[in-house]
Structure 1
Amino acid sequence: MAGAMLNVELDDSRAGDALTELMERLGDLTTPLLDIAEYLHQSTDDRFRRQIAPDGSPWAPLAPSTLAKKKDGRILRETGVLQDTLRHSVSNNELAFGTDRAYGAIHQFGGKIEHAARSQQVYFRQGKDGSVGNRFVKKGKSNFARWITRGAHSMEMPERPYLGLSSEDDNEVVLIVNDYLWAALRE
């Protein structure tokens, strides 16, 4: 997966110990890992809804300029594409969970975004009195056009972690694995 994927090592955690024991008993973790992946989808969806990081901290607020452009004030949810592209891949002993969207990484980890200089034609509607409003219109509804040039610039995107395991997630993974351990012990 290109984009954003978090590699979480569970070896030193309760979940890691439980998975190690389950691996020793079953040899193939595909089915338990599929259940864990389903849980991670639900947990991550909940974080998007609550706009919080796995550690429970709120995401960085939107800049006033971004808020002015959005239809609502939801963070990382203009169209829902990032959340909707969360995927998982499972093998017999590995679970990968993340997004294939390239911009997923900048939202997860933050960083500097470089914008190149550019020029483009923008379209306006000119009134009968000759005044031109400050709102862009589609080319077909325009009667006035102007070339605009914007110089190269950069911006700093704050991190808004959405991937990862919370302490609640770690506990839930342990419970899922324990269910499989008990089933394996009963066999």
Structure 2
Amino acid sequence: MLIINLDDSQAQDTLAQLLKNATNSRVIMRSFATELETMTADNFDSESFGGQAWVRKAFGGGKTLTDTGELKDSITSSATSHTATVGTNVAYARIHHFGGTITPKKKPHLAFATPNGFAKVKSVTLPSRPFLPVSPAGQLQSDGDRRLIEVALSALTTDT
């Protein structure tokens, strides 16, 4: 004869922790903010948006969007009980994330260094290279849902 007795104390402890964490949404939001920052770092490392490759830079060696590392290093995250935020305060971040056309404000042309010397142009159009885990259209990157669900489950069951 085989008899198995189950003790529900571990299940009760886990459920108690889940209920405690579920009533304190800051725990989950803090975990979401950290994961959004991690997804952003992953995008820089892979030069892609959730696996969809960025348009490569026109010239020069090295990784796209990481010439100096300033943009990548400027990424921060924060959380409240109701929000998880990831972003940057670098002025040129918007044009790289959303794409767009740059035109001169005070001169008749833009000037910049190229492999063949300096170029003078009336405008430069940059492609969208979304580095934050939310697309310019407001959609979470392809693997984002799965990653945030895993983080939420972990946050709900972790003793804080």
Is the structural similarity TM-score above 0.5?
yes
Q: Do the aligned residues in 2 keep the contact of 1:30 with 1:93 (CA within 8 Å)?
A: yes
Q: CA offsets, 1:33-52, max 9 Å, x none?
A: 22222222222112111100
Given that 2:28 and 2:156 are in contact with CA atoms closer than 8 Å, whether structure 1 keeps it comes out as no
2:127 is matched by which residue type in structure 1?
Answer: P
Identity between Structure 1 and Structure 2 (%): 29
Decide whether the 8 Å contact of 2:87 with 2:132 is kept in 1: yes
Correspondence for 1:62 among 57, 60, 79: 57
- Higher mean C-alpha displacement, 158-167 vs 85-94: 158-167
TM-score scaled by length of structure 1? 0.58
Q: Is the 8 A contact 1:88 1:95 kept in 2?
A: yes
Change over 3 Å in CA distance of 1:32–1:53 after alignment to 2: same
Shift of 1:171: 0.9
Q: Match for residue 87 of structure 1?
A: 76
RMSD (Å), alpha carbons: 2.9
Distance 1:26 1:179 in 2: 12
Give the one of 122, 130, 139 matched to 1:161.
130
1:176 is displaced (CA, Å) by 1.7
Q: 2:42 aligns with which of 35, 40, 46?
A: 46
Q: Does 1:37 align with 2:46?
A: no
Distance 1:111 1:30 in 2: 36
Provide closer, same or farther for how the CA distance between residues 106 and 50 of structure 1 changes in structure 2, counting only shifts above 3 A: same
Post-superposition offset of 1:118: 6.9
Point out where structure 1 has 5 or more consecutive residues left out of the alignment: 1-21, 120-133, 137-149
Q: Tell me which structure has the larger Cα radius of gyration.
A: 1
Compared CA separation, residues 109 and 177, structure 1 to 2 (3 A): same
> What count of residue pairs does the alignment treat as equivalent?
128
Letter in 2 for 1:156: T
Supply the AA of the counterpart residue of 1:117.
K
Q: Is the 8 A contact 1:48 1:76 kept in 2?
A: yes
Q: After TM superposition, what 4+ stretches of structure 1 lie above 6 angstroms from structure 2? A: none
Tell me if 1:117 matches 2:107: yes
Q: What are structure 2's unaligned runs of at least 5 residues?
A: 1-17, 110-115, 134-139
For 2:83 and 2:125, how far apart are their aligned partners in 1? Answer: 34
Change (3 A) 1:107 1:82: same
Q: 1:52 to 1:183 in 2, by over 3 A?
A: closer
Matched residue SS, 1:78: coil
Distance 1:183 1:34, change over 3 A: closer
Deviation at 1:58, TM superposition (A): 0.8
TM-score (norm 2): 0.67
Whether contact under 8 Å (2:49, 2:129) holds in the other structure is yes
